[in-house]
């Protein structure tokens, strides 16, 4: 079964509690190619990747080889020793450790006499690696304190740091979920330099535009089965989506006319460590979007309004309620609900079931004489599972075992069932496929008819253009450009974001009044 493939697996089978996740899947990657792996949430993409990485044992498989040499699926050690590197959807970082410590997990520390760690050398090495990716952060800060895009950068640096020592395959599972356009382009530069050295790259993403930009070949999974693989030149957006979901589909969002011009959310001169003089309003039935690169202040807007970040001055008015430096409880009581960018640590309790996570934010309607009405809870949860199309074996299933997109739907249901006045969506498309997006956005459209006000912070220019009545582009912690409905397009948003970033292909470090462009160099 000779092949020129970097990796080749045949007939992989994996099931969970009797439910088939992979049904005899074949997959192979050629040297120096970017091979995209696409499919709806729950199609088996992450299961296949985790099986190859050794984090999960397959039930069975027919054949597995790296460079034509037999390879044992289900072995973390064998995968690492044979040159496979992975960035998983949850990044796989240890949250309470620093960037330096996380990078040392896979390669160890440089030590001096007496096995003393050369901390200064390690800090400089990791700092320089991060800076090459355009991220200027303190490498000693625990990664739990970093923003989502910064954590993604740490995971990428950890995977790429020893690329020259026998790395054969790099697997990127949703690597750009929290990255704005300039950082995505920078990542693509790195990927192309990696493939130019014969290293294969597996690229897993729901962002189909990115797949067409970076992939050479595409494999589609649906319901745990391989639909087929094609050169990217033989596909277009419509055909790829059709292969993914088994029918033609487009992202639909029927925005209702504004319910009224009544202002529901009024933000006045809000200041924090990340933003200055933030002022804007959102009316009933309106969606206002925020765009911007990492560090522009865009990523701080939703947590700030939800009370997850402290403010120094200014205030927020929701209806008739005025909030000054609110706590999360104050914000919730005023009618503000946050769907956070990091659902794993901020939106869900991993050990809880789908039902427990979905109803946790408001148990009052389900409580009868200090006890939860289990029948009423089951009925309500079943309705949300149906309306959002959540794929779960049971409402009692642990939420941690769901795919990323289905977890996102649980978070959305958790907050929509509280009937908020203001819904904050922070990276709502993170790990969500086109079918799930359509269902989520249609549900939001229904709530807009009831007077819901929505603030959407996203790195997805297409989604912002599709949904928003107004888009605010942040720059250096302040409002830069404001685009009204007739001015909004995905290209216009991207241009404004790039303009505030000063250049689309290089990041810049300013020091002592000098501007120094930082280019990617893997030599």
pLDDT at 123 over 80: yes
Confidence at residue 424, expressed as pLDDT on a 0 to 100 scale: 97
Residue 12 has pLDDT above 80, yes or no: yes
**Separation between Cα atoms, residue 172 and residue 366, nearest integer Å:** 42
Cβ(427)–Cβ(149) below 8 Å: no
Average pLDDT over residues 505-510: 32
pTM of the model: 0.66
pLDDT digits (tens, 9 = 90+) for 268-326: 999 999 999 999 999 999 999 999 877 789 999 999 999 999 999 999 999 999 999 99
The Cα–Cα gap between 518 and 136 comes to 11
pLDDT tens per residue, range 411-425: 999 999 999 999 999
Average pLDDT over residues 340-345: 84
- The CA distance from 200 to 71, in Å, is 16
Tell me the pLDDT tens digit for each residue of 443-460. 888 889 889 999 999 988
CB-based burial, 494-522: b 16+ in 10 Å, e otherwise:
bbbbbebbeeeebbeeeeeeeeeebebee
Burial of 184 (0-12, 13-18, 19+ CB in 10 A): middle
* Domains observed in the chain: 7-245 (3.40.50.300), 250-335+420-523 (3.40.50.300), 355-417 (no CATH)
d(CA 206, CA 174): 7
* Residue 294 CB neighbours (<10 A): 22
Instruction: For residue 427, give both structure tokens.
Output: 């990276």
What's the pLDDT band for 200 if we cut at 50, 70, 90? very high
Q: Assess contact for 90 and 50: CB atoms under 8 A.
A: no
**Choice between 433 and 185, residue whose per-residue pLDDT is larger:** 185
Read off the pLDDT of residues 435-444 as tens digits, 9 standing for 90 and up: 777 778 888 8
């Amino acid at each position: 079964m000779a092949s020129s493939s970097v990796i080749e697996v045949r007939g992989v089978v994996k099931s969970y509690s009797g439910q088939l996740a992979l049904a005899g899947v074949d997959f192979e990657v050629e040297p120096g190619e970017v091979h995209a792996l696409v499919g709806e949430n729950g199609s088996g993409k992450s299961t296949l990747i985790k099986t190859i990485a050794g984090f999960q044992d397959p039930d069975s498989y027919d054949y597995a080889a790296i460079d034509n040499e037999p390879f044992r699926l289900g072995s973390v050690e064998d995968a690492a020793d044979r040159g496979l590197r992975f960035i998983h959807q949850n990044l796989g970082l240890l949250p309470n450790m620093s960037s330096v410590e996380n990078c040392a997990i896979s390669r160890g520390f440089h030590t001096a006499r007496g096995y003393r760690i050369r901390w200064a050398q390690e800090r400089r090495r990791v700092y320089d690696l991060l800076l090459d990716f355009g991220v200027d952060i303190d490498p000693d800060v625990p990664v739990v304190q970093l923003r989502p895009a910064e954590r993604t950068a740490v995971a990428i640096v950890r995977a790429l740091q020893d690329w020259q020592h026998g790395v054969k395959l790099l697997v990127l599972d949703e690597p750009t979920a929290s990255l704005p356009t300039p950082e995505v382009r920078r990542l693509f530069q790195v990927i192309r330099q990696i493939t130019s050295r014969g290293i294969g790259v597996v690229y897993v993403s729901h962002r189909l535009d990115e797949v067409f930009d970076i992939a050479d070949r595409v494999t589609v999974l649906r319901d745990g089965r391989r639909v087929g693989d094609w050169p990217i030149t033989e596909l277009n957006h419509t055909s790829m989506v059709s292969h993914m979901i088994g029918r033609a589909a487009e992202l639909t969002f029927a925005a209702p006319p504004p319910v009224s011009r009544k202002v529901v959310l009024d933000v006045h001169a809000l200041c924090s460590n990340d933003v200055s003089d933030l002022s804007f309003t959102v009316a009933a039935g309106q969606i206002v979007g925020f765009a911007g690169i990492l560090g522009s202040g865009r990523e701080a807007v939703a947590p700030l309004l939800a009370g997850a970040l402290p403010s120094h001055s200014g205030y927020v008015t929701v209806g008739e309620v005025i909030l000054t430096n609110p706590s999360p409880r104050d914000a919730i009581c005023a009618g503000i609900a946050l769907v956070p960018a990091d659902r794993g640590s901020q939106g869900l309790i991993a050990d809880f079931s789908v039902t427990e996570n979905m109803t946790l934010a408001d148990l009052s309607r389900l409580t009868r004489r200090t006890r939860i009405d289990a029948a009423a809870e089951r009925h309500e949860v079943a309705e949300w599972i149906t309306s959002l199309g959540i794929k779960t074996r049971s409402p009692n299933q642990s939420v941690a075992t769901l795919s990323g997109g289905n977890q996102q739907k649980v978070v959305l249901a958790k907050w929509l069932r509280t009937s908020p006045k203001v819904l904050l969506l922070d990276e709502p498309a993170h790990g969500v496929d086109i079918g799930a997006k359509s269902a989520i956005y249609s549900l939001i459209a229904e709530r807009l008819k009831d007077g819901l006000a929505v603030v959407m912070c996203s790195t997805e220019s297409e989604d912002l253009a599709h949904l928003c009545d107004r888009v605010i582009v942040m720059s250096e912690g302040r409002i830069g450009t404001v685009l009204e409905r007739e001015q909004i397009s995905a290209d216009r948003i991207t241009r404004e974001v790039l303009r505030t970033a000063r250049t689309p292909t290089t990041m810049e470090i300013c020091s002592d009044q000098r501007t120094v462009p930082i280019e990617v160099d893997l030599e």
